[in-house]
Each structure stands twice: as C-alpha cells, then as structure tokens.
Structure 1
Amino acid sequence: MTDLETTVRRIVREEVARALHPAPLPGGPTFADAGDAWLADLERLRRPANTLRRYEEQLRLHLYPDLADQPIAAIDRRRLQEILRRYVTADRHARARGIRSVMISVCEFALQQEWVDHNVARTTTSIRVPRHPVSVPSAADVAALRRAAGARHDDPRATMPLGLMIDVIIGAGGLRLGEMRGLRWADVDLAGAVPSVVVAGTVVQVRRGDRAWERGLHLQPTPKTSTSRRQIAIPAWLAEELRPLEQPGVLVFHTRGGGPYSPANVHSRWRQAAAAAGVPELGPHDLRKYVGTLIADALGVDVASRVLGHASGQVTERHYIARATAVPDVTTLLDQLRG
C-alpha cells in the first residue's frame, strides 16, 4: 500500500467517524460534572462506603487532573487511551484496569443522561493484568509471627491483642483485615456443636468530608462484596481462645473507647511483630494466601474460593494460590513408553 493510499484511508476513516459522532456544541457538562453526578447516584443507591471511597479516589487522583474541566462530549478515545497508557507503561496494570472501569461507568452515566451520544470509554483497549507467581509464606514464617505477636501481647503496655487477631485471621479461614476488625460477638457462635463465625460486615476508613460515607473510620454493615458474607466453622483451638473473652453485643476487637481499631494502628503493630519475628515482609494479606493455599491443596480451589469469600475461583487461583511444582506420580504409565 502506497503512502497516498494510506493517507486517503485515514482521511476516509476520520470523515466517517465525524459523520457518526459529530463534534459537540461548546460547553455542556464537564467530565467532573458527570463524575460527581455518577458518584452521587451511587450514594443514593446505598453502595458500600468502601466502594464509594475507591471510586472517588480513582476520579480525584487519576482522572480529574487530566479531564475535570473538559466537556465530556468533547473527550475522545485518544485522550482516554493516553491516560491508561501511562499506567500500563509504568507496569501498573491493575491500577489502569480500575481507572478504565471508572471511565466506562462515568461515560455510561453521561450517556443515560443524554450528555453524550456514545460511550467513548468502551472503545479504549481492555487491560490485561500480567500473571505473576504468587508468593506464599511458609508455615515456619507464620509460626514465628504468631510467637512474636503473642510475646508483645504479654507486654502490659500493649493493649491491642495482635496475637489473637492473627489467630482469628488464620483460624477463621483467612479473614480480610477489615473483616477481622469488624467481627462482633453477635457474629460468633461458640455454643454450637461446631463453633463458627459469620462474616457480616467490615471496618472501613475513608477520608473525612461532608458526605456520610466520607466520615473516617466506621463499621460497614455489609462485607466487601455479596459473596464475602459467609459462615465459617472454626477449629476447637480458636474457640477455646475466644470463650473466656466473650462479651455479647460488642466488637471482638475494640479500643478502650469501644470503637474499631484503625488500619494504621494495626499495621504499625503488625510491622513491629513481623520485624521481631524476622519476617518483615509478611503482611496481613499474606496470611490469606497462606490459608488459601493450604485449603486449595487439600480440598481444591473452589472450596478455597468460598472460604476466602471470592466471587470466583479465578480470583483465588490468580492471586492467592501458590502453584504446585510437583505433579502426580505417573512413572507406571511412562514406563510403558520404554522401547
């Protein structure tokens, strides 16, 4: 194809695009207008506070700096693609994927309001997150962390029962940190034939502001997702640890004032214990991977996914399960191939 033919084809494509999507009139709602209205609509629909916080941060930190004052009807694919490319080039694929999702949602809302005639964000390239090997702590590392956390709990100056927190995360099937902090005694059944806990909520912390979901640290009455609400049987050793501490009607883990612990305080104490244990990189999420891999190896990925509260086994397998390097012994079959 000659340069002239290439140029002609490009001009024809541009003319067709202009005919299908004519240039917008000056003015009109900006991208920030659409984003704020979309967020307010989600708030009216009573979306979880943590979800609203995540969307608000995507808009404020990653989209508004480039698009806030731009009329949404004037924003083209190239402009959106440039924003996504910055994050993909920086190897922040998961971030780019989240930003694209918000882009699509805001533009879809604008389409419903008839502020635009098509959802330009849907024409951007979908983001594939590269799969990296899952790093899972060893049983020895987890044991060392538990010992260090328990030893610090014996310190009369330490009021946060970090050792018991870690035991609950592990013994309740790999709870999320927010789920552990939001666990209430009303959600704990220690009298049944099989002791169990119900994951019914989580603790979230969002930036302070005028809207209800922006008022800092609070207990959210629903877990992270619909599949995150689950009942988990706990082992006898954890039930024995919890029985002497039961106080109906309050949080299992609470400050002297009765409120939930902030994530900053928990992470600070956690880092101290991990450093003392010689495993400074071992964080709360690593315990979920440890428990998830343990369950998957014994009972399969689907069971691990349900216990961890994931929407699908694909999430569990991609992010939480260490791939086994060993395979079943098939030497008997392979021996038949000998000439």
Structure 2
Amino acid sequence: MPRPPLPVGTWGKIRTEKLGPNRHVARARFRDYDGKTRDVEAIGPTGPAATRVLQVKLRDRIAPNDDEITRETKVNTLADLWIDDLIAEERVSPQTIDRYTTSLRTVIRPAAGNLRVREATVGRLDKVLREVAKDRPSAAKGAKVVLGLMFALAVRRGALTTNPVRETGRLRKPRRTVRALEPEQLEKVRAAIQRWQQPTPGKSGPRHSGDLADIVDLLFATGARIGEILALRWEDVDLAAEQPTLTICGTIVYVKGKGFFRQGWTKTDAGYRNVVLPRFAVGMLMARKITAVDNPHDAIFASRRGTWLSPQNVRRQWRQARTDTGLEWVTPHTARKTVASLIDKEADAKDAAGQLGHDDEAITKKHYIVKPALAPDSSHILEKLGPGQPPSDPGQPQTA
C-alpha cells in the first residue's frame, strides 16, 4: 500500500549529516502549498543547530508562486496593493477609499507597516488594536476592518492560509448615552446662533450670513444628516403641495483631489425619502426662496461663490456660535437624536426610524432615542416597606 502524501504545509523526518569540522546539514521533505514535495535543507555548526535553523526555515516556508504577495511581503506593500485592487474594482466609493487610506496612514502603517506578512501574527495585531482602542476606540474599529480586508487579500493570493485578524479579540465599545435637546435648550441654541450672526462693530471681513440659523431649523424639521441638508436643491422641495414636502436624495461628500461635491445618492437605500415639512420649516424656506440668489447647482444653501457648502464649515460656524454657552456637547447630529426621541415619544420607534432614513429601527432605538429603562410597577409591593406598616401574619401565605 503506497505511503500517504504529507499534508500541505508539513514536513517529514529531519535528517542530519556531518559535512566537515563545525559544518552540519539538516534535510527534510516539505510538501509545498502548490502540492509538490521538495527537499529543504539548512546548514549549522552542529547537528542540533542545523536542525533548529531548518525548523525555522520550514515554518516560514513561502509558497512558491509568481504572485507579488508572499509571506515576506511587508504590510506597507500589502496595503498599497490592496488599495490599488479596490480602486481598480470600482465597487467602493471614493470617500470610503479616503477613509481606509486615513486609517492606514494614522494607525496601521505606523504600528505594523514594517512587519512582514508572516510576522503579523494574531498576537501582534491584537496588541496593536488594543493599544489604539485605549484612546481611540473608533479608530481601532476602523483599523480592524481595514486589516481584515488587507489580510483577506493575502489569503486569496496564497501568502497565508488563514486571516489572523479574524482571531483578534473583540474591541471594547465605549458606553455612549443618547442625549437630546429639551425645548428650552433648543431655544438656547437658536439664541446663540442669532447672537453670532449679528454684525460685530469694528470687525472687518464679510458679515455672517443667515445660513446657519436656517440650516439648524431644517435639521430639526427633518432629522436629516448635515450632509443631506447641504445637498438639497430647490427642485427637491415642493412648497406648493397641500402637505409641503422635501425629498432627501443626495449628500455632500469629500474626496481628496476633488474637494466637496454632491453625491447623487444617500448613505443607504433607506435614506432616500420624502419628508413632510412642519410649518416653521415651510415659512423659512419660502422666505429664503424670495431672496435666493441663483447658483450653478440650484443649491438651497450655497457659498458666496455659488459652490456647495461643506459640512466641516457648518460645524466650525456652530462651534464659534456656541462658545461660552454651555452647549459644547451639541452637534448637528444632536438634531437627529432630538427628532427621533420626540417622534418615538409622540408616536413610535418605527416612525422615528422612517424619519431618519434607517432601514432597521433597532439602530434608531439604540443610538438615537433617549429612553430610560422602564421598571415594572411594583409600588404596591414596596409599600409594605413603608413606616408604620402592620406586621405580617405568620399564618398567611407570603406573596412573592
């Protein structure tokens, strides 16, 4: 009966031979990753030393192939090849490519870029991710996604048999409390913006426009994302309908080398939606329409040069307006949480999810709705712990 072949990636008995003074050779048959069995040898001053060298050589054996990714490829090179593949496939959006590139530049390259693929073990990668997660949990989560995709490419190209990122530990998730604005806090927000928009005597430069106040009103009128609000065009609004509506069908994105531009689709499929506008938003848009200056994009909110406003600039303006107001925790995204919490309170979470453009109301409940856990009504039982209560009758059965 013929001897069964060695399993792929394993070797047979190691044999040693003395070649001369302080010169020994260790040999073994190794079944390579292409299925062929080959002789592998290593030299050492003694038999045991040659054996140890051979064992390391066998452990780190590279699958013979013509691919540009091997076990000896550096992680930096793997990253470059992976990004090139993504761009060539054209299935990932440019802004996602930018996000991946940022994760590579800020986390992965500094921490692991000079490692060989074979050296990027589960333990090393796990340590890198946990160190980052101590101060930047979101960055660590993004880096884990990128590393997983990179090493999946290494597996597909035959450099590795398993993806080490899959075996790294779960990263801690910071506890986040959903926080929404109360009515009096919202009025404080509007008052801060009004003060900021007033001209400052003796201050040079262009006067602040009324854009920030109108943008904030529309955020609270719709629950939309800041990028979705800034991507609105006049053609997306129907103010003449019996129930005036607004169609959210795009967002403002940034791509390196191209700048800010309007993307003609929303973050998710569920994000494409018609929103019925409350009266205060209808009044604001009508007043704005009367004084609107034409721009090439038909944008409701355009810069003085007629270009799209960037979300970053709007956030910067809000940071300036909220200075010394105690509203440092309030961001444009707080509007989405405020809208979701109010709709959930007055209607339900399903309506809140639809308003925000979520296809899963569990996301809305977890991240956008302020709702403390409701304990069961046990007040009639706890009343027995009040002062002056008569002692219980030992002969009576105790209630649970």
TM exceeds 0.5? yes
229-238 or 41-50, which moves further after superposition? 41-50
Kindly indicate whether residue 284 of structure 2 is the aligned counterpart of residue 241 of structure 1.
yes
Kindly indicate whether residue 98 of structure 2 is the aligned counterpart of residue 53 of structure 1.
yes
- Provide the residue aligned with 2:180 in structure 1: 136
The 1:32/1:187 distance shift into structure 2, 3 A limit, reads farther
- Provide the residue aligned with 1:180 in structure 2: 229
- Provide the residue aligned with 2:147 in structure 1: 103
Kindly indicate whether residue 345 of structure 2 is the aligned counterpart of residue 308 of structure 1.
no
- Provide the residue aligned with 1:145 in structure 2: 189
Show CA shifts across 1:42-68 (max 9, x none): 334242333222111111111011222
Structure 2 CA distance, aligned partners of 1:294 and 1:103? Answer: 40
Structure 2 CA distance, aligned partners of 1:93 and 1:314? Answer: 22
Kindly indicate whether residue 318 of structure 2 is the aligned counterpart of residue 270 of structure 1.
yes
- Provide the residue aligned with 2:242 in structure 1: 193
Secondary structure, counterpart of 1:275 in structure 2: coil
Return the structure number with greater helix share: 1
Structure 1 CA distance, aligned partners of 2:174 and 2:146? Answer: 20
Structure 2 CA distance, aligned partners of 1:283 and 1:45? Answer: 33
Give the partner amino acid of 2:321: A
Show CA shifts across 1:130-180 (max 9, x none): 4332222222111111233245445481125111000111101x2212112
5 Å-filtered alignment, 1:194-273, equals: 194-206=243-255, 208=256, 214-246=257-289, 250-273=298-321
CA contact (8 A) 1:197 1:233 kept: yes
Q: Identity, % of aligned pairs? A: 28
5 Å-filtered alignment, 1:51-130, equals: 51-88=96-133, 90=134, 92-130=136-174
Cα RMSD (Å) of the superposition?
3.2
Kindly indicate whether residue 349 of structure 2 is the aligned counterpart of residue 319 of structure 1.
no
CA contact (8 A) 1:184 1:251 kept: yes
5 Å-filtered alignment, 1:27-38, equals: 28-38=72-82
* 1:103 CA displacement: 1.3
Structure 1 CA distance, aligned partners of 2:274 and 2:119? Answer: 49
* 1:295 CA displacement: 1.6
Give the partner amino acid of 1:324: P
Give the partner amino acid of 2:322: A
* 1:109 CA displacement: 2.3
Kindly indicate whether residue 202 of structure 2 is the aligned counterpart of residue 158 of structure 1.
no
Give the partner amino acid of 2:220: I
Runs (5+) with no aligned partner, structure 1: 1-17, 209-213
Show CA shifts across 1:281-318 (max 9, x none): 32212222111211222222233223223353333233
Secondary structure, counterpart of 1:204 in structure 2: strand
CA contact (8 A) 2:107 2:139 kept: no
By relative contact order (CA 8 Å, sep 6+), the higher-ranking structure is 1
TM-score (norm. length: structure 2): 0.69
Kindly indicate whether residue 41 of structure 2 is the aligned counterpart of residue 23 of structure 1.
no
Secondary structure, counterpart of 1:205 in structure 2: strand
CA contact (8 A) 1:23 1:74 kept: no
Kindly indicate whether residue 329 of structure 2 is the aligned counterpart of residue 281 of structure 1.
yes
Q: 1:168 aligns with which of 218, 242, 248?
A: 218
The 1:325/1:74 distance shift into structure 2, 3 A limit, reads closer
Kindly indicate whether residue 346 of structure 2 is the aligned counterpart of residue 298 of structure 1.
yes
CA contact (8 A) 1:148 1:276 kept: no
Secondary structure, counterpart of 2:243 in structure 1: coil
* 1:324 CA displacement: 2.8
TM-score (norm. length: structure 1): 0.80
How many positions carry a matched residue from both structures?
313
Structure 1 CA distance, aligned partners of 2:94 and 2:276? Answer: 28
CA contact (8 A) 1:131 1:318 kept: no
CA contact (8 A) 2:248 2:271 kept: yes
The 1:314/1:200 distance shift into structure 2, 3 A limit, reads same
The 1:266/1:28 distance shift into structure 2, 3 A limit, reads same
The 1:273/1:184 distance shift into structure 2, 3 A limit, reads same
288-297 or 32-41, which moves further after superposition? 32-41
